[in-house]
Amino acid sequence: MNIPKISVLNFARPVKNDDTGLAPASRFGLTMAKPLSKDTVSFAGTVKSMGSRKDAITMKLAKAVHDEAKEALTFWESKLRPYLNDLEVITNPANPIESISARAKEPISIVEKAVTRGWNNKEEIKKGMTDLAGMKIIMRDGSKEEVNKVIDSLVDYVKETGARIVEIENKRPLPVYNQYGEIAKSYDYAAPMYLAKLQKVASKNVGKEIRYVDENTPTNYMAIHILTELPNGITGELQIMGHDVAALKELEDMCYKIKNGKNLPKKYASMEKYFTSLKPPVKPESGLEDAEYKSALEKFEFVKDEHLKYTQEAYLVQRAKEPRTYSSRRKQKDTFLEIPKYLPQELDFNNLHELKIKCDAEDAALKKAAAKKKK
């Protein structure tokens, strides 16, 4: 692949900072967050504690929750979509919204997440799992000016429908400051005053001030996440992000699943062998940590830490890209920052993206063949 290199990003060998415990500064001038010791990728802010597979809920229960989430999602879409139609490219090629997608969490994913959180019944799952129903707004143009328009549309939606938004999270890296203490670079998708306005009208519907927080994400992932209450006791999660960041998020989600002992979706099962270096080594059966195991563990920790830094830089590169034009949005190939030479090359996001495209095409062909067979 002829992927252009980004000369400004000169990855160096890792520098340990045992005195402070802080991660090295980014080449962009941004101090990176230290990797977290526990998984906190949760919109509700809960910390994941890995449980035992024997505690897994039944697939029948997971399917029932999925069906309720799907029903709530249909209702949500019917209410929200009319407020966004005028901003989609299908209405006008110059509009900023590239696409709007929706999904109900799959039963197998419900089972996996319920196990890690210790949720054993429908009530606990519906109360704690805040992404059972999800909608994603992908921006063709992710500039503040255009995303502010989307937030304004959400304000109208909340005012006119009585929608109960209960939480707003503005996920992005910390801003970069110049020598005078002024913000030189900001990664926010929307201006704070627009999100504050959404918080105000949402709080009025709920009857109390809803949670609104700016969150510095450990991977530098950037998006706006909004939680809303839906029928059947389901909580829906709306995400807003730019096209280039969304493309990387799909790949980073795969890495996240592997790091946390989860399986990739069935259609991507053939890709799991490329993530071997992100899996921790298995302890010897004796329980004694021999020299071979310690060496493998040291190598794993190195790859894990350096892959996080690669991911952090990759997100910043994606965010810096210029908006796509309507005519080029389908022709233009997604590209990503190349991985440093000292890391496993199979983990390069460009490589993973090509493999994902192949899996998607194979899955689409199988579904088409199955549909044809039914006829």
Q: Express each pLDDT in 22-41 by its tens digit.
A: 333 343 333 333 333 333 33
Range with lowest mean pLDDT among 47-51, 96-100, 214-218: 47-51
**The pLDDT of residue 146 is above 60:** yes
Examine the pLDDT at 51 and tell me if it is beyond 70: no
Q: Which of 5-9, 115-119, 172-176, 332-336 has the lowest mean pLDDT?
A: 5-9
Kindly report the average pLDDT of the chain as a whole number: 85
Q: How confident is the model at residue 308 (pLDDT cuts 50, 70, 90)?
A: very high
Rounded to two decimals, the pTM is 0.82
Count of C-beta atoms within a 10 Å radius of residue 61: 18
| HSE value, Cβ hemisphere, 13 Å, CA-based, for 314 | 28
Q: Quick one: average pLDDT of 201-222?
A: 96
- Give the pLDDT band of residue 148 (cuts 50, 70, 90): very high
Residue 325: predicted pLDDT: 80
326: pLDDT confidence band, cut at 50, 70 and 90? confident
| pLDDT at residue 202 greater than cutoff 80 | yes
**Higher pLDDT residue, 190 or 48?**
190
Read off the pLDDT of residues 103-129 as tens digits, 9 standing for 90 and up: 999 998 899 899 989 999 999 999 999
Strand partners, 183: 177
**What sign does the dihedral 105-109-113-115 (CA atoms) show?**
positive
Please give the domain boundaries of the chain with CATH numbers for all domains.
53-243 (3.30.460.10), 252-374 (no CATH)
Query: Percent of the chain at pLDDT above 70?
Result: 84
- DSSP letters along 174-199, please? PPEE-TTS-EEE---SS-HHHHHHHH
Q: Is the pLDDT of residue 187 over 90?
A: yes
* 223-229 β-sheet, strand order: 97-104, 133-139, 235-242, 223-229, 164-171, 211-215
Average pLDDT for 177-203: 94
CA pair distance 29, 370, nearest whole angstrom? 52
Taking only Cα atoms into account, the Rg of the chain, rounded to an integer number of angstroms, comes to 22
- At residue 90, the pLDDT reads 87
The residue-averaged pLDDT of 149-153 equals: 98
Mean pLDDT in residue range 310-332: 87
Instruction: Find the angle CA(293)-CA(116)-CA(298) to the nearest 5 degrees.
Output: 20
